[in-house]
Amino acid sequence: MNRKSVLEVRRLTARVAGVEILKGIDLTVYAGEVHAIMGPNGSGKSTFAKVLAGHPSYEVTDGEVTFEGRNLFDMAPEERARAGLFLGFQYPVEIPGVTNSSFLRLAYNTVQGARGKDELDPLEFDDYVQDKLKLLEMDPAFLERSVNEGFSGGEKKRNEILQLAILEPTLAILDEADSGLDIDALRIVANGVSRLRSPDNAIILVTHYQRLLNYITPDYVHVMDEGRIIKTGDKGLALELESRGYDWVADEFRSRQAA
């Protein structure tokens, strides 16, 4: 069976405010796969996620990225989203005055429209969203609150996963979906993500810690350092990183480079 490629990244370099952060990334993700990207602070993990989503502060200097065969850099950020690329934010912004329900419905209908599917009116959408709320054990009253305003860290993260569940993207890139969560919230978020795993979509988990991977078993674990992927392994690598830290991977990489 031919595997369907979702994302192909070749020699990607990018900078922000004149500083080169990504220094040549290669990565291929197929449908049905879960990739974890780990690495120390400042290694470029979040930058990689934002560059893929098209954040305007980041400048791509070289390399190619195709998303389901299309040149990703030909697409505006909103076109990428409509085409099925989803970024779960590490720090979701607050949007005062805009209710979650209207925001979610606008996002859903925009993406549905781009897929040539019918939009939902407020009542239909409410039915649709109630099921998703249950999945994430969220109080329906939460829909009437302003987007992320006054949310706790855990609520913000759950809201990101709720949006993921509503938009059903082809590729979900979750940037530190687990940071700042207590153990119950972590379980809920992780279960939410696991339930969305399917043979047709792919997930990239950007994370510091191994603990999220106890709930979502990745097919590949990549270690990023100084803007490059320096080692790729399986779930076992994540456990090894947890016990040994990152330094040995970097040392190993440097000695390989020197050789």
Partner 1 sequence: MSTVLQNLVNQPYRHGFVTDIESDVVPKGLNEDVIRLISRKKKEPEWLLEFRLQAYRHWLTMQEPAWPNVKYPKIDFQDISYYSAPKAKKKLASMDEVDPELLRTFEKLGVPMHEQKALAGVAVDVIFDSVSVATTYKQRLAEVGVLFCSFSEAVRDHPDLVRKYLGSVVPAGDNFYAALNSAVFTDGSFCYIPKGVRCPMELSTYFRINTQESGQFERTLIVAEDRSYVSYLEGCTAPKFDTNQLHAAVVELVALDNAEIKYSTVQNWYAGDEQGIGGIYNFVTKRGLCRGINSKISWTQVETGSAITWKYPSCVLLGDNTIGEFYSVALTNHHQQADTGTKMVHIGSNTRSTIVSKGISAGLSNNSYRGLVKIGANARNARNYSQCDSMLIGDKCGANTFPYIQVNNSSAQVEHEASTSKIGEDQLFYFAQRGVGAEEAVSMIINGFCREVFTQLPMEFAVEATKLLGLKLEGSVG
Residue ranges binding partner 1 (CB under 8 A): 53-57, 76-78, 80-82, 86-87, 89, 92-93, 95-99, 101-103, 105-107, 110-111, 114, 122, 146, 163, 167
At its nearest, how many Å lie between partner 1 and the CB of residue 106? 4
Distance CA 236, CA 166 (A): 32
Return the amino acid letter for 233.
G
How do beta strands 202-206 and 19-30 pair?
unpaired
Half-sphere exposure (CA, 13 Å, Cβ side) for 59?
A: 7
CA 29 – CA 170 distance, rounded (Å): 11
In the complex with partner 1, the residue whose CB is nearer, 43 or 100, is 100
Q: Least separation, in Å, of the C-beta of 207 and partner 1?
A: 19
Residues ≥6 apart with Cβ < 8 Å to 115: 82
Q: With respect to partner 1, which residue has the nearer C-beta, 20 or 126?
A: 126
Cβ proximity to partner 1: between 125 and 220 the closer is 125
Dist. CA 127–CA 51, nearest whole Å: 34
Helix (H, G, I), strand (E, B) or coil at 229: strand
- At closest approach, how far in Å is the CB of 1 from partner 1? 31
The least distance separating partner 1 from the CB of residue 40, rounded to whole angstroms, comes to 24
Query: How many beta carbons lie within 10 A of that of residue 165, not counting itself?
Result: 19
CB 109 within 8 A of CB 129: no
Using CA atoms, how far apart are residues 14 and 20, in angstroms rounded to an integer?
A: 6
In the complex, minimum distance from the CB of residue 79 to partner 1, in angstroms, rounded to a whole number: 8
Q: How far is the CB of 100 from partner 1 (least distance, A)?
A: 9
Name the residue among 127, 125, 130, 153 with its Cα closest to residue 141. Answer: 130
Residue 3 or 117 having the CB closest to partner 1: 117
Whose Cβ is closer to partner 1: residue 13's or residue 163's?
Answer: 163
- Write down the residue that tokens 């040539």 correspond to: 116
CB of 205 to partner 1, least distance (A): 17
Dihedral (Cα; 226, 231, 232, 238), 10-degree rounding? -90
Compare residues 8 and 119 and give the one whose CB is closer to partner 1.
Answer: 119
Kindly tell me which of 53 and 250 has the beta carbon lying closer to partner 1. 53
Helices 100-114 and 153-167 cross at an angle (nearest 10°) of 30
